Amino acid sequence: MTVYSVRHITHYTYKRRVTFGQHRVLFRPRDSFDQRLLDATMTIEPAPAQVRWIHDVFGNCIALVDMNGPSDHLRFETNIRVDHTPEVPVHFEIDSDALTYPFSYDEEEIPDLACTITRYYDDPAGEVAQWAQQFVGSGVSDRTGHVLMTLCFAIHQSFVYSRRLERGTQTPIETLRRRQGTCRDFALLMMEAARSLGFAARFVTGYVYVRDRDGSRTLGGGSTHAWCQLYLPGAGWVEFDPTNGIVGNRDLIRVGVARDPRQAIPLWGSYDGEAEDFDDMVVQVNVTTEPSASR
């Protein structure tokens, strides 16, 4: 087991005092058998009028923040500590009926999985579907785990990771054509490719631990990270990080899950003012491990 500490700061500055709409903060990790939340704090400057907690439609913990008057800056700092147990499924414990692709999900699970199997992005010429099909053998059944691992590693090895300042996520077709993108772009491409093959897939937002931040081959550190989960009968929701070629939860700290990246934005809000009133935004994320003696 490893104890991870995550410090996440987002600091907005404005050229004049503005008033703020409600902000939604997604930072509290999901407790599970492989990660246990030890501590979570959030500090906001200026002090808010109210902070209210809810569970969204996916069961994620969301903080709803109402601000108290105008300001020329807004700063969020969150700190979490998580007891993390790595699960590296070299051989998936998949039900025998689903060991080879294609397979069918259980009729009782299909109504609950339906929205994660449906594709949501236009693919008029079938480019994403055709690209995904190459990872399935022709005329013979393939091992399900092998199909998905090959798809994950293909993105990791054949696409270029590139930080992007623009908001939002590229469409899967854009990522496929450009052969580059961010972790959110790669996660969405793998989701839609897997969905084209009939798999249930969902988006995950969280953090990745980078052992050696300078020169490390693990990408996506220093900011929030994104990957995806695929549902496999008998194994459940299995983590796939196409950005780093990780299968399983090694070094991944899961915060929220969603059907689509637009539903899992770590910090979202608004201000009342002109576009030119906005000055700058600085984001800092530090993921560290605690020494054994302090656990």
pLDDT digits (tens, 9 = 90+) for 63-99: 999 999 999 999 999 999 999 998 766 566 899 999 9
The mean of the pLDDT values for the chain is 92
- pLDDT of amino acid 168: 84
Q: Where are any strands of DSSP class E within the chain?
A: 2-20, 23-25, 35-45, 50-55, 61-66, 71-84, 100-101, 142-143, 160-161, 180-181, 200-208, 225-232, 236-241, 246-247, 252-258, 267-268, 271-272, 278-289
On whether the CB atoms of residues 252 and 239 are closer than 8 A, the answer is yes
Q: Please write the tens of the pLDDT for every residue from 225-262.
A: 999 999 999 999 999 999 999 999 999 999 999 999 99
- pLDDT of amino acid 217: 47
Q: Please write the tens of the pLDDT for every residue from 164-205.
A: 766 789 999 999 999 999 999 999 999 999 999 999 999 999
Query: Which domains are delineated in the chain?
Result: 2-84+265-294 (2.60.40.2250), 96-261 (3.10.620.30)
* Phi, psi dihedral angles at 60 (to 5 degrees): -75, 150
> Judging by beta carbons within 10 Å of its beta carbon (0-12, 13-18, 19+), is residue 38 exposed, middle or buried?
middle
Residue 279's pLDDT band, with cuts at 50, 70 and 90, is very high
Q: Collapsing DSSP states into helix, strand and coil, what is residue 138?
A: coil
Structure pTM? 0.93
